[in-house]
Structure 1
């Protein structure tokens, strides 16, 4: 399975990102504009778009498909965000491919003790590669 990463420009946390995606959601799907359609777009369908906020992968959205709209590509995604184990990631422009082996695991809701940690502490632990 192939995934991509993308910076959530202007978002300070997962709640802000979730609000942005839900504001453009139709029928459980949302979309993300990008200049070019990924060359490997067929491999990405069913994979996930992993979101980078403050230099960390924080959540993912399942990729549903791709559309061309006025000369730009729209990545169609599930409107629901899935929290993942925070992992440091440099910011970049556009998107980058992410192999399945390199993708962080899901937090699995409130069952995971990491979800209860303050964001600042999670950031520090992730930077030290302890989580």
Structure 2
């Protein structure tokens, strides 16, 4: 669930509070998984507590506006996003690049599967 508050920042609402909160708040990002491939990230600014209409406490992950495109990396989605340790995260695309240079889909998938891409 994504929502915008009065400050205009995007939020991803999740049931569980992140266990790695200090690490996440020191430069962490949400990595967006689209069709089984990490394609972009958004830096996390802060975590806000929100209480739903049902009275249940949830976590709003507040993100910096805009997306940062990343190199594609295969990842099975579980909620369509995840935050990763730096060593597990795909590299950002160079500034000004909006997409990777196309390579055959089978080759791209094979490279991602063995961790090369």
Larger radius of gyration: 2
What's the RMSD between the two structures over aligned residues?
2.9
Which of 60, 63, 70 is equivalent to 1:74? Answer: 60
Which residues of 2 match residues 6-45 of structure 1 at below 5 A?
24=4, 27=7, 29-45=9-25
Shift in Å at residue 125 of structure 1? Answer: 3.6
Contact 2:39 2:72 in 1 (8 A): yes
2:77 aligned residue: 91
Greater RCO (Cα-Cα under 8 Å, separation 6 or more): 1
Shift in Å at residue 28 of structure 1? Answer: 6.2
Change (3 A) 1:67 1:116: same
Aligned residues: 107
TM-score, L = length of structure 1: 0.67
Q: Distance in 2 between matches of 1:95 and 1:115?
A: 20
Change (3 A) 1:94 1:108: closer
Q: Distance in 2 between matches of 1:68 and 1:87?
A: 31
Q: Give the secondary structure class of the aligned counterpart of 2:48.
A: strand
2:46 aligned residue: 65
Give the helix-richer structure, 1 or 2.
1
Residue 95 (structure 2) pairs with residue 115 (structure 1): no
Residue 99 (structure 2) pairs with residue 100 (structure 1): no
- Segments of structure 1 that go 5 or more residues without pairing to the other structure are 1-8, 10-20
Q: Distance in 1 between matches of 2:48 and 2:41?
A: 19
